[in-house]
Amino acid sequence: MSLNILNHQHHRPLPVGFYERDPDQVAVDLIGRMVVRRALGAIVVGRIVEVEAYFGEGDPASHACRGMTPRNAIMFGRAGMAYVYLNYGVHCLLNVVTGLEGRAGAVLIRALEPVSGIEIMKKNRPVKKSVDLTSGPGKLTKALGIDLADNEVDMTVPESRLYIANGTLETRTVKASPRIGISKGEDMLLRFYDEGSLFVSK
DNA sequence: TGTGTGATAGTCT
DNA sequence: GACTATCACACAT
């Protein structure tokens, strides 16, 4: 099963061009795609069911709203790179950089549905109910073993230990809502989620 | 708990 | 005066 996933056409990394758009467009299109994580020869896969889009200037909730800093510089860089940062000094959060170089943008991956490698996820993040495994941005990074070392990983090449792949063409209902856990810019509908999924964060 | 910001102190010229 | 270093604090996709 694991190796088939890698070989399958649908599980090659999404190309740079996919990410070279505005973050809200990329965000909508990421619902239903697969996050593929390879570590120590094992493979862990989760289907994206919730994301949030972040712009640069003009988006008060974005790390990049006040221009470039050492931490957020990657948001201005090439599309398709992973932007992983530490939140509350505790959780690592996974974003993918969008847009053309020089223009800040990113999509935060907020929730996944476990697809493959579930035993590894449970080992990384022991939980009582499996719905708690990946139903939040900090949970999913823990379950997939993603940390600061994955910052700036190129997610557009198959050699990477972390990338996003096409996924299946299931029908899904994508809904938009305000983003979660922000104190500014709540009026914008930049959170997107698969309405039917139990793994969408509360 | 790390980061960014603003305040303050220190240094150069 | 202008620039840089250090510090303390507020707050965090």
The pLDDT tens digits for A75-128 are: 999 999 999 999 998 999 999 999 999 999 999 999 999 999 999 999 999 999
CATH number at residue A131: 3.10.300.10
Nucleotide closest to A61 measured between CA and C1' = C13
Q: Which domain holds residue A184?
A: 3-194
A88 domain-assigned: yes
Q: Which nucleotides of B are covered by protein (CB under 7 A)?
A: 1-5
- Nucleotides on chain C within 7 angstroms of protein Cβ: 11-13
Closest nucleotide C1' to the C-alpha of A148: B2
Instruction: Indicate if CB(A66) is under 7 A from strand B.
Output: yes
Average pLDDT over every residue of A27-52: 94
Q: A200 lies in a domain?
A: no
Q: How far is CA A165 from CA A64, A183, A200, in A?
A: 26, 32, 20
Say whether pTM exceeds 0.85: yes
Q: Is residue A201 part of a domain?
A: no
Distance of CA A10 to the CA centre of its chain: 18
Domains in chain A: how many in total?
1
Distance A64 CA to B4 C1' (A): 12
